[in-house]
Structure 1
Amino acid sequence: MASSIAFLAAAAFLFVTYYSSSAKASDFNKDFEITWGDGRAKIAENGQLLTLSLDRASGSGFQSRKEYLFGKIDMQLKLVPGNSAGTVTAYYLSSQGPSHDEIDFEFLGNLSGDPYTLHTNVFSQGKGNREQQFHLWFDPTMDFHTYSILWNPQRIIFSVDGTPIREFKNAESVGVAYPKKQPMRIYSSLWNADDWATRGGLVKTDWSQAPFTASYRSFNAADGDDWVNQELDSAGQERLKWVQSKYMIYNYCTDSKRFPQGFPPECTLN
């Protein structure tokens, strides 16, 4: 365990060094708008910090003012601490309409002391059901960590602190739709999902712990040609394999009970 954490820490250090030198200071007032929550979402520290809160009456959410067609999106999050069972913090890219595209991070709350489940999914032309889930190698409630989505015409790469955890490749060659034509906004929300979020809905939200709060800072977006040909190098591929072997807890591409007639065709490429 110690060696695995050291390995990931070294990778994260390289990313943070690059990120710190290249990121522009974000201003949530300029880049985002609060869309719901009746005052439960707040922007503070001269636009440098955004918080979402959830209580028994309502959750809250925000969205980007800009749409993106390809790019690399970075956001630092600090998740709901303590007993967050039943809550979901969603951070994702999405277009609109019944044939929408979507790229998801969802953080499923837990009983105090249990690990968060990081849920990922990719939708193209309204079709999702491409879930992979992970436990993280750190406590995501103690400090801010960077969650990144790289999206270009060839692939989608999900990363945590610069360490890739998932790659979804363009599989149009085997008849699978790929999200490449619909611009997407960035969305985030904190909401109650205790009918399914924690242990399949067995553990309900403890409202005596409310309000639940998640925090955001250091947004950065590099769009257009900057990332259009980006891919994982050999070191990135090794880090990806390491994370998936140690921390992946669900992969739809290996769920034979769900796909008894054979796995979806993109699984041969991912």
Structure 2
Amino acid sequence: MACPLPNFMGCVVLGVFVAFAVLGSVSSSRFDELFQPNWAFDHFASEGELLRMKLDNYSGAGFSSKSKYMFGKVGIKIKLVEGDSAGTVTAFYMSSDGPYHNEFDFEFLGNTTGEPYLVQTNVYVNGVGNREQRLNLWFDPTKDFHSYSILWNQRQVVFLVDETPVRVHSNLEHKGIPYPKDQFMGVYSSIWNADDWATQGGRVKTDWSHAPFIASYTGFEIDACECPDAVAAIDNVKRCSTAGGEKRYWWDEPTMSELNLHQSHQLLWVRANHMIYDYCTDNSRFPVAPVECLHHHH
């Protein structure tokens, strides 16, 4: 399960649903209007629209969105820890609360100098994860900012890197497979020490002589249906879901129900050239393939 993740930026785009409005409106906001540090406040540093979060041998750090959301798109631009980052994990994820929570994870697994960063994605449904995929990237994520985003609607969850889809988790409820669509989710980020598993299965430990390990953030975006605490849960669900057959939100448009042809080709390219682990093909962990693996085309 992902820890909360580090820093973010000051200028943020938030999709706000205004009562009685038919479409979510997009407005800009500052980091501190949208988010709050969760822990290690002294491990945050902001500089204009740039936010940095650090991990040292005292603590990691993390923050969360002040609001919860149901459906939409969230994203951030991150420049990952440079140099020897073995043992560290930087995470960006969405999660609901409780033991039967839903969660969509990006976890960036640190590396020894010269080795590629690994990106692990995972999907939890009703408290059950174990759906890891790992890939290496087609660029060095420590040299510049790149965008990492999650699109979530009633038909699919799409993980994107610089708008290239790297994973799709489709709604297969018609096959009797649960899909995350009825729990509000917060947006989180964290940086933390995970040298018991993160790098080469835990064989390479964190070298604290290289601390602090700093991840930098900017360009945080949320364009999603906000679920205020003051509104009853059932009313939030109704408001954020398609009502009466009318499409209220851009992410509910038919064109967003599956990847287009270009995106499908991009995903195939990523899987063929950059995926290094897929739980669906791990026969030692799953002698019987997980049921959704039999139906997912991607």
Length-normalised TM-score, structure 1: 0.88
Instruction: Look up the match of 2:135.
Output: 134
Instruction: Look up the match of 2:64.
Output: 63
Q: Report the AA paired with residue 79 of structure 2.
A: K
Length-normalised TM-score, structure 2: 0.80
Q: Is the 8 A contact 1:169 1:269 kept in 2?
A: no
Q: CA RMSD in A?
A: 1.5
Quick one: distance in 1 between partners of 2:195 and 2:203?
Answer: 8
Does residue 268 (structure 1) correspond to residue 294 (structure 2)? The answer is: yes
Quick one: distance in 2 between partners of 1:38 and 1:161?
Answer: 29
Does residue 249 (structure 1) correspond to residue 276 (structure 2)? The answer is: yes
Instruction: Look up the match of 2:17.
Output: none
Q: Is the 8 A contact 1:146 1:162 kept in 2?
A: yes
Instruction: Look up the match of 2:211.
Output: 210
Shift of 1:25: 4.8
Shift of 1:24: 6.1
Quick one: distance in 2 between partners of 1:64 and 1:187?
Answer: 6
Does residue 239 (structure 1) correspond to residue 269 (structure 2)? The answer is: no
Q: Which ranges of 4 or more aligned residues in structure 1 deviate by more than 4 Å?
A: 23-26
| Structure 1 residues 49-105: Cα deviation after superposition (integer angstroms, max 9, x where no partner) | 221100001000011112110101111001000000000001100011101110000
Alignment of 1:91-170 (within 5 A): 91-170=92-171
SS in 2 for 1:82: coil
> Aligned pair in 2 of structure 1 residues 41, 163: CA closer, same or farther (>3 Å)?
same
Does residue 176 (structure 1) correspond to residue 177 (structure 2)? The answer is: yes
Q: 1:41 aligns with which of 20, 44, 49?
A: 44
Q: Report the AA paired with residue 42 of structure 1.
A: A
> Unaligned stretches of 5+ in structure 1?
1-22
Shift of 1:41: 1.8
Q: Report the AA paired with residue 242 of structure 1.
A: W
Shift of 1:42: 2.6
| Overall identity of the aligned pairs, in % | 52
Q: Is the 8 A contact 1:25 1:218 kept in 2?
A: no
Q: Report the AA paired with residue 35 of structure 1.
A: N
- Residues paired across the two proteins, number: 246
Quick one: distance in 2 between partners of 1:166 and 1:121?
Answer: 10
SS in 2 for 1:147: strand
Quick one: distance in 2 between partners of 1:68 and 1:226?
Answer: 15
Q: Is the 8 A contact 1:134 1:247 kept in 2?
A: yes
Quick one: distance in 2 between partners of 1:172 and 1:263?
Answer: 18
SS in 2 for 1:238: helix
